[in-house]
Structure 1
Amino acid sequence: MATSQTPESLKLHRKLPYPRVILLAAGTVTVLSALTYGVIRSTEPPSPVKYLTAMVRRGSLSETDSATGEVVPAETDTVAVPSNAVVSTVPVHLGEVVTQGTTLATFSDPTLVSTVAAEQAVVSAQSAQVNLLTSSSYTASQQDSITQAQDNLIQAEEILSADKSAGNVVSPAGGIVSQLTSVGTAVTAGQSIAMVDGKPVQAPMTGTVQTISVVNGQTVNPGTLLLTITSPALQAKIVGDEGQIAGLQAALDKAEAQDSPAQNTTAAAEARAQLQRDDETLAQEQQALAGLVVKAPFAGEITALNLSSPAKLLTLSSLAQQVTVPIPETQVAMIHLGQSVQLSLPALPDQTLAGSVQNIAPVGTYSNGVSSFPVNVNLTHSSEVRYGMSAQANIVIRTVHNALLVPLSAIQTHGLHHFVQWLGANNTVTRTPVRVLLENATTAAIKSKHLTTNMRVITATLTASNGKLHLKTKGRALHRAHPKGPRGGKKA
């Protein structure tokens, strides 16, 4: 069924275009506009690439190992009250800084004082004995004593011989003997006791005829023993002479045993040995006595003082300070005595102190599968550093000298190989292989046949997009030092 239209609607319909035609025209205009803009943009020259560069320089690079420890005194000395002694004076106070040799404390011990005095007397006496035995005058005196004893014995023997021959009657001349007095006959001095050649022979003393040596009618020569006369007095005298000789012989034997050069040498050696023992005893007692005055063995600070504690009266801490830090077993082989160390203290943020490795513990400490070795680092003295402060020690474990140095961000890695890009004339970029010798947190020491100082290596690229600059790093990002030691690249 057809729809009827009014004359007004037919008129309006003829004046307006169809809707689809309108939409098609609008879309066409939009596309053409976009294409025109694209063509115009494509004809503009591209923005030039900009690079961040750094100059290659030559120098030394070090790798350090960092560890934290506590500042402690390099030496400590604790003063205790000696046994059987009492405190006399303590002329120092807590926190006082003293020099070496300063008196820290004095003690008293009357018993020890008297013991030392007695031993000194013994040593003096023994020393005098040694001096006597080794003196030349004493040796001469001893020899004189022996000589005198020998002379006395000879004189006594001569007297004994004379007394024994006092009763002997000898022939005054040669001839025939007659009228001999018989044995046992008592005679008086001057009495005729025999006839020789018709002449009387008189008794030299009063006594009794003891023996007859010839017979009547015998011819004798002058001096021939005729008979012997004895008496109680003469016998007593002979016995006395013999006793005196025995005594003198004993005295001589004693003198030769005690006063001979050999014996004197032995006695002197024994006296010297005894004197040495006495000296050692005296030295020990004097050392104990000297211990009653305690002096500072080194310069330091009084860090503890307790007058009521005999076992720990005071503590002296040396001015020399040290820091003990743990070094991993993988790096301890790179540490050596005297190695330089830089120390930083959180309490002194604006200071860097110097130090050196004093000693390395021969035995490590094992924990969580890793061993570390305590390393003592001497600290340069500073009045601002206090015992107990924490300190970070940076120990140089490896140094490369006279190497090419570039920023770590310039190093690019592909597999096991390293290279850098350097900027030449007209912004030409050249890629060059390098060998990384050593690197720290910011810099790498390299070796290359194609790089020289003052060349500029690329560290990053600046590009423009949508009116904004974008930074694209070429090499490695900055990082901390490798925890397991130095990293070296492969040869390019």
Structure 2
Amino acid sequence: MKLSTKRRTLIINGVLVVLLLGGIAAAWASVGDDTSGDGAAPLTTRVTRGTVLASVSASGSVESARTRALGFAVSGTVEAVLVETGDRVKKGQVLARIDDTAARESLEAARASLDAAEEADTSTASGYSQYINARNAYRSAKRALAGTVIKAPFAGVVTAVNGAVGGSSGASGGSSQGGQAQSQNGSTGSAGSAGSGGSSGSAGSGGFIEIADPARLRIVGNFTEADVGRIKVGQAATVSFDALAGVTASGKVTVVDPQPQTSNNVVQYAVTISLTDVPSTVRLGQTATARVTVGEAADVLTVASAAVTTAGGRTTVTVLENGRQVVKRVEVGIKGDTTTEIKSGLREGDQVVRPRTSTTGGGGGIQFPGGGGGFGRGFGGGGGNR
């Protein structure tokens, strides 16, 4: 005997209700105390002993910590330019010179005046004054002659040549500047002496010839105000280079600028990182990322940071014990880039549950295979049979 359509529909709906109730019961069983919410085996990671590293990073470009803009000490016509941009030079090497005829003549005249003053009576105030004036004039003329030549103050690379043979020296008559040349970001590099007769300006003043020391490289990165509070002089850093895959250099923090720089309402601080063990493939001007190690804990219990939850001043992890998930409160130390130090609450070898990417539907409840809805306290979603 054939079943009527209405009776067949009732039977099918009854079977679906039974299956649905069975699924609900299984789901409630799977979300019982301290168990996985989706019934699947939880993802776990073991508590291990190791080193936790915490770091902050910023971008910058490779620059020399020692640069000089060199010029002539006197005005004149450029007679020779002996280097080109990119040339490597030695300390004391002559880089350029101007016509020194007038300077030599002035020196000869000053020498003669000094000889005459020395032979005169210097026992009187007038005679001694004449001698001092002649001596000073001679010394000035001697410096002027030396200033017709530019010499390299240190071994380095020529980064710019801003003049040519036959042109003017462009000198302002300034004397050699020694001591420390300070850059705008507040860090300093040893300037050295300008060499015989070489006048110098700051690194960006644009001299006749500009030179940089490639053996003293650094990165100046702008760190956020949240990160800079964790940075201290002497901390280690690792630098990677955008154009050199797999190439890194070591470094350390040498200067933390006390003055902030604000751009688009973002406050940042310049931090200078001096590089060591720089690969030969690294060049001036290359963009780089400096990662400063701001915290380190060695030989400690560690767990993946993703497995640690902090809420309301309470830090917890979920541990798998005998197939059940148990929430435990822990005390943490350094929070590293990928792992976190565990000071108490866990033991080495404990299995900690890692968070699983949510697969719930729009209703926010447990998802049944093939269904569009779920349930929280009651039934939700719109994908079930009606």
TM-score (norm 1): 0.52
Q: 1:303 aligned to 152, 159, 178, which one?
A: 159
What per-residue deviation string (whole Å, max 9, x for no partner) do you get for residues 298-350 of structure 1? 22222222314633533223313333222233433433333322222211122
State the Cα deviation string for residues 330-384 of structure 1 (Å, max 9, x = none).
Answer: 4334333333222222111221222233333343223343432222333344443
Overall identity of the aligned pairs, in %: 26
- Once residues 40 and 340 of structure 1 are traced to their aligned partners in structure 2, the CA distance between those partners, rounded to angstroms, is 60
Report 1:172-321 matches (<5 A).
Answer: 267=123, 278-305=134-161, 306-307=163-164, 308=167, 310-311=169-170, 312-319=207-214, 320-321=216-217
The alignment of Structure 1 onto Structure 2 pairs a total of residues equal to: 312
Q: Is the 8 A contact 1:339 1:356 kept in 2?
A: yes
Instruction: Please give the residue correspondences for 1:45-124 in structure 2 after superposition, counting only pairs within 5 Å.
Output: 50-123=41-114
Please state whether the residue corresponding to 1:288 is helix, strand or coil.
Answer: helix
- Whether contact under 8 Å (1:76, 1:318) holds in the other structure is yes
Contact 1:50 1:461 in 2 (8 A): no
Partner of 1:234: none
- Secondary structure of 2:259's partner? coil
Secondary structure of 1:111's aligned partner: helix
3-state DSSP class of the match of 2:104? helix
Q: Is 2:336 aligned against 1:437? A: no
**Which residue number corresponds to residue 167 of structure 1?**
none
User: Offset of 1:406 from its aligned partner?
Assistant: 0.7
Q: CA deviation at 1:407?
A: 0.2
CA distance in 1, matches of 2:297, 2:248: 23
Q: Partner of 2:108: helix, strand, or coil?
A: helix
**Counterpart for residue 192 of structure 2:** none
Question: Are residues 1:451 and 2:352 paired?
Answer: no
TM-superposed CA distance for 1:296, in Å, is 0.8
Q: Deviations over 1:371-421 (max 9, x none)?
A: 322223333444433333222222223334554211012213443211123
Distance 1:368 1:27 in 2: 67
Please name the residue that 1:421 is paired with.
318
Q: Distance in 1 between matches of 2:13 and 2:254?
A: 82
- TM, length-normalised to structure 2: 0.64
Distance in 2 between residues matched to 1:58 and 1:129, nearest whole Å: 88
In structure 2, which of residues 230, 240, 254 is the aligned counterpart of residue 334 of structure 1?
230
CA-CA distance at 1:453 after TM superposition: 2.8
SS for the counterpart of 1:361 is strand
SS in 1 for 2:42: strand
Amino acid at match of 1:297: P
Measure the CA separation in 1 of the matches of 2:58 and 2:91: 33
| 5+ long unaligned stretches in structure 1 | 1-16, 131-265, 469-492
User: 1:461 Cα deviation (Å)?
Assistant: 6.8
Distance change in 2, residues 1:58/1:83 (3 Å): same
Q: 1:128 to 1:404 in 2, by over 3 A?
A: farther
**Contact 2:308 2:316 (C-alpha < 8 Å) held by counterparts:** yes
Say which of 384, 391, 406 aligns to 2:281: 384
Q: Is the 8 A contact 2:90 2:156 kept in 1?
A: yes
Q: Is the 8 A contact 1:84 1:109 kept in 2?
A: no
Kindly provide the CA deviation profile for residues 138-165 of structure 1, in whole angstroms up to 9, marking residues without a partner as x. xxxxxxxxxxxxxxxxxxxxxxxxxxxx
SS of corresponding position for 2:348: coil
1:228-283 Cα deviation digits (max 9, x unpaired): xxxxxxxxxxxxxxxxxxxxxxxxxxxxxxxxxxxxxx949998887666544433
Of structures 1 and 2, the larger Rg is shown by: 1
Is the Cα contact below 8 Å between 2:62 and 2:218 reproduced in 1? yes
Measured in 2, the distance between the counterparts of 1:329 and 1:342 equals 20
Answer yes or no: is the 8 Å Cα contact 1:329–1:372 preserved in 2.
yes
Write the mapping of 1:165-176 to structure 2, written as runs, cut at 5 A: none
Distance 1:28 1:52, change over 3 A: closer
Q: Is the 8 A contact 1:358 1:377 kept in 2?
A: yes
Tell me, in whole angstroms, the C-alpha distance in 1 between the residues paired with 2:271 and 2:259: 11
The letter for the 1-side match of 2:296 is T
CA–CA distance in structure 2, aligned partners of residues 379 and 120 of structure 1:
49
